Amino acid sequence: MSETAQIRQELQEKISQVNQEVRKVVVGQDYMVNRLMIGLFTNGHILLEGVPGLAKTLTVNTLSKVLDLDFKRIQFTPDLLPADLIGTMIYNQKEGEFEVKKGPIFSNLILADEINRSPAKVQSALLESMQEKQVTIGETTFPLDKPFLVLATQNPVEQEGTYPLPEAQVDRFMLKVYVNYPQREEELEVMRRMSNLSFEENVEKLLAKEEIFSIRNAVNEVNISESLEKYIIEIVFATRFPGEYGMKEEAEYIQFGASPRASINLHRAAKAIAFFEGRDYVLPEDIKEIAYDVLNHRIMLNYEAEADGITSKHIIEKLLQHVSISK
């Protein structure tokens, strides 16, 4: 085994250890943990959607402890201001001058809880930080800590009094992950564990920041063939021109297809899936597996789709059936 292959194997084993450590606290959310780590190791932000009580906050907090990263949870409310997020200038009477008070955005992992509860100004302040990886307070620009990952949650049930994210802002999230209820056996374990008042959420720190960046480099070096790169492009183009791919019925439901960010994120995420599976090359199955999370918030459907009960998941299923890999 070459030195490069040995290093890659050691890093892959580290990821397995992280999964096992998170499971000591979090039960039944392996899918969410997997997607969070894809975002972390490919430098992409995640939008989580699910009803309250599905351990979203617990999962992110536990993952931050295992990875030894700073974690901040920000509850988005209608009266939240941009300064509450990024910080502001305050007057120091003793010194007779203004000084910077940094906000909670200066952390490694940010959980933006119920992001759609706050108005556009607050959302744009967060999304600007996500895009630029920096914050300007007064006349000074501060770079954000690395790694920097935003995990935003949306409650799909109660939409009264919310400010839905515009499509252009939603597009900045690498993945949109639907968090589902646990299985019966998993919920039984959750109930027993959390009903025990002596239960402690103790986990070991398994990864240093330097190792996170090493894993990012290793994921980046995963091989993907030209035919699979073209396959990704065809998938994205099929969301824009479905009629050209034999999807005439679905074409009537799609208002706008996916942006070029979809191609970039499919490419990155497929590499991460392959790396997590212990391979240094991408398979078509890797692309198909992650396609739902990359595309479901980037395909904008019209009112006819809503009336007929058609979802983006339905469109993506048909799309993957019709788009073939060209050699």
* Chain segment 268-319, per-residue pLDDT in tens: 999 999 999 989 899 999 999 999 999 999 999 889 888 888 889 999 999 9
What value does the mean pLDDT of the chain take?
86
CA-based end-to-end distance of the chain: 31
Sequence letter at residue 303: Y
Percent of the chain with pLDDT over 90: 29
To the question of domain 224-322 being in CATH 3.40.50.720, the answer is: no
Instruction: Provide the whole-model pTM.
Output: 0.88
pLDDT, mean of residues 118-135: 83
Ranges of H-type helices in the chain: 3-23, 30-42, 56-66, 82-86, 120-132, 167-170, 184-195, 209-220, 226-240, 248-251, 260-276, 284-295, 303-307, 312-322
* Chain segment 206-227, per-residue pLDDT in tens: 888 888 899 999 999 999 999 9
Task: Please tell me the distance from the alpha carbon of residue 28 to that of residue 182, in angstroms, as a whole number.
Answer: 6
Specify whether the CB–CB gap between 108 and 147 falls below 8 A.
yes
Task: Please tell me the distance from the alpha carbon of residue 81 to that of residue 196, in angstroms, as a whole number.
Answer: 39
Q: Per-residue pLDDT for 238 more than 80?
A: yes
Nearest alpha carbon to residue 86 among 117, 120, 126: 126
Q: Which CATH number fits domain 3-211: 3.20.190.10, 3.10.400.10, 1.10.4010.10, 3.40.50.300?
A: 3.40.50.300
Per-domain boundaries in the chain: 3-211, 224-322
